Amino acid sequence: MSNQHYQQRNHKKHTLHLPKRIILLRHGQSAGNLDNSAYTKIPDPQIPLTPAGLAQARLAGTNLRHLISRSSSSSHWRVHFYVSPYLRTRSTLREIGRSFSKRRVIGVREECRVREQDFGNFQVEEGMKVIKETRERYGRFFYRFPEGESAADVFDRVSNFLESLWRDIEMNRLHHDHSDDLSLIIISHGLTSRVFLMKWFKWTVEQFELLNNPGNCEFRVLELGSGGEYSLAIHHTEEEMREWGLDSEMIADQKLRAHGNRGAWDDNCPCYLDTFFDPLADSDDNEYEDSDDKTPSDASSISA
């Protein structure tokens, strides 16, 4: 790569105008949430919201508008929606949309890659109970439902979606006026949202297994911090994050992301090393500091 090309890419990176926040929202209460037998006779993508779910979605729209308008740096704020193609997520979006005027919404896109985990086709209620018990023993992330997906499969397609999302931002495919305060709102499903957070924050499988599913129409706000990184700790409290299943190291990471410079947490948050290694020494053994060429066998022969 030429120096000129590198400088152009570096300049582009530094002038990139990022969304102020990325908001993950689970759909409202569905017929399947209320009664599991719905999955035995209605295709999962066609499961509707209940009346309570519709009311939850309308309230979520009010809460989202209040959050965005209150925390935006100016009155020039906009939203862009991504929505799973399932009926319950699209119905949630429709109710949320009642809280936003046309001039506030710069776009909406149906996105198949943020759909629900595939559990197979029509579900057999008794059989699904056994399958879910087996999943608990096997592990939620790697267990694949017969004729369906594992959370690891969902991780792969969410990862692919994130690559597209970054290209949309970088190439301004969202038609975002850089003077506007932009929020991306992704209306999806419980497991898909957890997998999104896992991928975004580089959480391990073990950390993913700690996470609790968000409730219907609950949302998680990733907000851009002063150091150029997104964090859950700007909008949400430590108590909330603990309720979601984040442990102390994950919460410490979020706090560093909220205010630290890009990459600062790599030096300050021990979880990235301690997760994979036994405690490492702070420095090399003094025995080898004077010579880079000495191997352990060299040292032992010298001392002999």
Q: Which of 27, 80, 176, 189 is catalytic?
A: 27
Catalytic residue flag (residue 259): no
Candidates 80, 95, 111, 116; catalytic one: 116
Distance, CA of 183 to CA of 187 (rounded, Å): 13
Q: Is-catalytic flag, 95?
A: no
C-alpha 281/C-alpha 99 separation (Å) is 55
Where would I find the H helices in 190-229? 190-201, 205-208
Q: Report which of 79, 164, 150 is spatially closest to residue 113, judged by C-alpha positions.
A: 164
Beta strands in the chain (DSSP E): 21-26, 77-83, 105-110, 181-188, 219-224, 230-231
Q: Which two tokens stand for residue 223?
A: 């907000």
d(CA 68, CA 59): 14
Gap between the Cα atoms of 26 and 8, Å rounded: 39
Residue in the block written with tokens 């305060």: 181
- What residues are labeled active site? 27, 116
